């Protein structure tokens, strides 16, 4: 597997660039070791119904603590894993770990209500055997307990493939959420063909929707599109009760965000949100 290279640049090869490249190379090796050594962690963020504020599920979010660098943001290591051919290995670990955590909660009589959302990257989605692969890695967990999240732009990289895979996933009983919705370029006609269950309204529109009427109009449009297509809407990044109230009034069905709850390690998540 060859990482994409952008070496047609005309800038001079500076010391800073060399350091940046060395850091990325070194980080790639450390990440590889962390995946192999099962030293990544999953955090869980609760998701709620806006109508009655009940727990409807959670999203699994990958965390990496490096002893030397401290916490490395998924915004940095996920793209690195995608670029350096590590994302399938990472994604497999996430699926197995998520399934094993659902099993632990079940065994402790604190099962997660609703669905656990698991983020999937475009390279995993490109696998025509994805449905069978997910089933194999999550053996013992009913497909109805899992939602796979793929970003809108990843869906649109190969829309025809996405149509095929989403139908196969749906037939198997998995739910599909379109993540970061509003930032990609999907058309209504494609959205209609994807067998998705929910649109996740991107955090960038939620952030300023109280003050910015353009963002508010976009949120309202996304909710209207979802209604037309019989999909749910889940707002990301809700940080205040005013945002939650407005979203509820606008007809958004679910939300997650710091106001409802931060992502937490599995035990803390269970202690805070799961009923024994």
Residue ranges that bind Mg ion, judged by CB under 5 A: 119, 149, 179-180, 236
Q: Least separation, in Å, of the C-beta of 109 and Mg ion? A: 28
Among Mg ion, ligand C2E, none, residue 26 binds (CB under 5-8 Å by kind): none
Q: Does 179 bind ligand C2E (CB under 6 A)?
A: yes
The DSSP result for 95-136, as a single string, is: HHHHHHHHHHHHHTT-PPSSEEEEE--HHHHT-TTHHHHHHH
Q: Does 62 bind ligand C2E (CB under 6 A)?
A: yes
> Among residue numbers 154 through 173, which ones bind ligand C2E (CB under 6 A)?
none
Q: Least separation, in Å, of the C-beta of 151 and ligand C2E? A: 6
Q: Does 57 bind ligand C2E (CB under 6 A)?
A: no
> Among residue numbers 1 through 30, which ones bind ligand C2E (CB under 6 A)?
none
CA dist., res. 43 & res. 40, Å (int)? 10
* Closest to 95 in 3D by CA, of 156, 35, 177: 35
Q: Does 102 bind ligand C2E (CB under 6 A)?
A: no
Note whether 257 and 238 are within 8 A (CB): yes
Q: Which is nearer to Mg ion, 32 or 203 (CB)?
A: 203
Q: Does 263 bind ligand C2E (CB under 6 A)?
A: yes
Q: Least separation, in Å, of the C-beta of 60 and Mg ion? A: 9
Q: Which is nearer to Mg ion, 30 or 95 (CB)?
A: 95
Stretch that binds ligand C2E, among 50-58, 138-146, 213-221, 257-265 (CB under 6 A): 257-265
Collapsed DSSP state (helix, strand, coil) of residue 74? helix
Return the structure tokens found at 275: 């009923």
Among Mg ion, ligand C2E, none, residue 237 binds (CB under 5-8 Å by kind): ligand C2E
Return the structure tokens found at 273: 């949100």
Q: Least separation, in Å, of the C-beta of 59 and ligand C2E? A: 7
Q: H or E element: which one contains 32?
A: helix 15-36
CA dist., res. 70 & res. 73, Å (int)? 10
Which residues have CB under 8 Å from 159's CB, separation 6+? 186, 190, 193, 194
**Residue 23 burial (C-beta neighbours within 10 Å; 0-12, 13-18, 19+):** exposed
Residues that bind ligand C2E (CB under 6 A): 45, 61-62, 73-75, 78, 91, 94, 119-121, 149, 179-180, 203, 236-239, 256-258, 263
């Amino acid at each position: 597997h060859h990482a994409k290279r952008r070496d047609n640049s005309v800038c001079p090869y500076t010391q800073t660039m060399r350091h940046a490249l060395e850091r990325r190379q070194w980080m790639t090796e450390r990440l590889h070791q962390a995946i192999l050594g099962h030293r990544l962690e999953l955090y869980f963020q609760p998701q709620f119904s806006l109508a009655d504020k009940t727990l409807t599920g959670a999203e699994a979010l990958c965390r990496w603590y490096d002893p030397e660098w401290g916490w490395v943001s998924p915004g940095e290591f996920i793209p690195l894993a995608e670029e350096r051919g590590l994302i399938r290995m990472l994604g497999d670990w996430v699926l197995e770990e998520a399934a094993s955590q659902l099993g632990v909660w079940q065994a402790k009589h604190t099962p997660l209500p609703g669905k656990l959302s698991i983020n999937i990257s475009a390279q995993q989605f490109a696998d025509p055997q994805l449905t069978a692969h997910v089933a194999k890695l999550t053996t013992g967990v009913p497909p109805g307990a899992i939602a796979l999240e793929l970003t809108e732009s990843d869906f649109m990289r190969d829309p025809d493939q996405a149509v095929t895979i989403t139908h196969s996933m749906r037939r198997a009983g998995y739910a599909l959420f379109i993540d970061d919705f509003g930032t990609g370029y999907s058309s209504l006609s494609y959205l209609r063909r994807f067998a998705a269950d929910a649109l996740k309204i991107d955090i960038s529109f939620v952030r300023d929707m109280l003050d910015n009427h353009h963002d508010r109009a976009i949120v309202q449009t996304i909710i209207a599109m979802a209604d037309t297509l019989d999909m749910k809407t889940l707002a990301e990044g809700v940080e205040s009760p005013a945002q939650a109230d407005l979203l509820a009034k606008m007809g958004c069905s679910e939300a997650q965000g710091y106001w409802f709850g931060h992502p937490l390690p599995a035990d803390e998540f269970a202690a805070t949100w799961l009923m024994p």
